[in-house]
């Protein structure tokens, strides 16, 4: 495990400053939301009265066909939002689009990633792309980079940080508005598999980890809860916070699939002991299992932890249509999960909630499910009914839920 090397780098070296200058213009150290652009500064005011602020970074040149993590993913989502009537024009009073999200600075991403790794990513994009950088023999697909991939990853991280800024600003105005918008980032490449010094699982920079450290260091939100509902365990996020008691990491994923981490008994180490909660779901688990896990594990663990902000690694590859693994969530399952986690954020942390898109490789399943998350955050009902017959292994699910509750002291509300 990393310790000191994982801490925030306060003083950049001369080489780091040169690297930062070659990537993007050095940004002032004041509030990042107001300095991103004049448009986003105006949005800061508008967001106070909305229900949802979202950012889009589709990375169209970060693409390599055929590959499941394709540039077609974001256009499919935007088309579904249009069909569903979930756009800023349809909901002008509730929904705000963050225009031209900024890129993250080197200063911000070295809060979780090694500087040498960042240099390696930039050098690969500049001098050795397109190329495969990880997972060379993975049958589901390798991790690749193109000439734009490094900048695209910085934009995905920067959009997440701008959304944190927007949500935090709105929460400070709560006494006058009574409503705090959630943030949602429709961005790629995804991030939750990226470790401090390694790309993997289609991920280059760990967006949710960067956002967590940013919330702590720039906004003073000391306790961060991360909920990862991607079908694959978020090994990178897990490793970055495994010995950290300021971050509660809850990961609901399919048991026994790639990357092979996220075991039930992996609960953290040192000061972080008990602050990692893995929920490895039996193969075939679906909507009923997800609801049970939320009620019996996620909600009581969140209430006990009392976070200052909730961040979601929102993967949609547990959908029954997804080609990679074998969980059976419906599109409407994501409406339930999103609605309930928003209710939790309202109860526990002043409504501060940001969702960051991770996996999801059926374009229909992904686009429907993201639309369902948007509907939930807007306070609208689900538009999708269960569209396949699923027989879930509920005996195995109940047994697994009981094991996790006992392991983490959730039966009596004590650790």
| Nearest residue to 315 (alpha-carbon basis) of 262, 242, 268 | 262
Distance CA 319, CA 330 (A): 6
- CA–CA dist 138, 125 (Å, integer): 22
DSSP state of 76: H
Query: How far is the C-alpha of 233 from the C-alpha of 251, rounded, in Å?
Result: 7
User: Would residue 193 show up in a list of annotated catalytic residues for this protein?
Assistant: yes
Structure tokens at 299: 């909600």
d(CA 184, CA 376): 12
Q: Does residue 273 sit in helix, strand or coil?
A: coil
Q: Is the dihedral of CA 61, 64, 69, 75 positive or negative?
A: positive
Q: How many residues does the chain have?
A: 415
CA–CA distances in Å: residue 230 to residues 226, 238, 282, 378: 12, 13, 14, 22
CA distances from 153 to 12, 84, 143, 240 (A): 20, 28, 13, 18
Write the CA distances from 215 to 43, 186, 221, 226, 377, integer angstroms. 19, 19, 6, 12, 21
Of 62, 113, 192, 193, the active-site residue reads 193
Spatial separation of the C-alpha atoms in residues 320 and 380, rounded to whole Å: 23
Residue 120: closest CA among 163, 150, 157, 96: 150
Task: Classify 290 as helix, strand or coil.
Answer: helix
* Contact call for residues 352 and 308 (beta carbons, < 8 A): yes
Catalytic residue list: 193
């Amino acid at each position: 495990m990393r310790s000191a090397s994982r801490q925030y780098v306060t003083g950049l070296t001369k080489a780091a400053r040169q690297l930062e200058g070659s990537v993007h213009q050095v940004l002032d150290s004041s509030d990042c939301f107001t300095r991103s652009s004049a448009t986003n500064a105006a949005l800061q005011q508008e967001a106070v009265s909305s229900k949802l602020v979202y950012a889009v970074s589709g990375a169209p040149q970060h693409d390599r066909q055929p590959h499941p993590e394709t540039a077609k993913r974001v256009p499919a989502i935007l088309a579904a939002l249009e069909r569903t009537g979930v756009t800023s024009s349809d909901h002008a009073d509730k929904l705000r689009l963050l225009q031209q999200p900024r890129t993250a600075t080197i200063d911000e991403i070295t809060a979780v990633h090694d500087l040498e790794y960042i240099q390696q990513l930039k050098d690969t994009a500049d001098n050795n792309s397109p190329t495969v950088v990880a997972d060379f023999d993975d049958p589901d697909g390798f991790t690749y980079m193109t000439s734009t991939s490094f900048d695209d990853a910085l934009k995905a991280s920067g959009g997440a940080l701008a959304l944190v800024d927007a949500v935090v600003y709105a929460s400070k105005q709560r006494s006058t508005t009574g409503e705090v918008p959630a943030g949602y980032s429709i961005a790629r490449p995804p991030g939750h598999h990226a470790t401090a010094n390694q790309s993997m699982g289609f991920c280059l920079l760990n967006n949710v980890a960067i956002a967590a450290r940013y919330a702590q260091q720039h906004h003073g939100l000391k306790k961060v809860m991360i909920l990862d509902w991607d079908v694959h365990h978020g090994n990178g996020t897990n490793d970055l916070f495994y010995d950290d008691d300021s971050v509660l990491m809850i990961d609901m994923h399919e048991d026994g699939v790639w990357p092979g981490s996220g075991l039930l008994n992996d609960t953290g180490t040192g000061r972080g002991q008990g602050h990692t909660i893995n929920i490895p779901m039996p193969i075939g688990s679906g909507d009923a299992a997800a609801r049970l896990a939320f009620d019996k594990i996620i909600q009581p663990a969140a209430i006990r932890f009392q976070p200052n902000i909730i961040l979601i690694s929102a993967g949609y590859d547990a959908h029954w249509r997804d080609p990679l693994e074998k969980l059976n969530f419906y599109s409407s399952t994501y409406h339930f999960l999103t609605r309930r986690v928003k209710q939790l954020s309202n109860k526990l942390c002043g409504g501060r909630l940001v969702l960051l898109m991770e996996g999801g490789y059926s374009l229909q399943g992904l686009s429907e499910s993201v639309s369902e998350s948007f509907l939930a955050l807007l306070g609208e009902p689900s538009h999708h009914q269960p569209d396949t017959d699923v027989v879930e292994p509920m005996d195995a699910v109940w047994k697994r839920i009981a094991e996790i509750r006992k392991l983490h002291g959730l039966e009596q509300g004590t650790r």
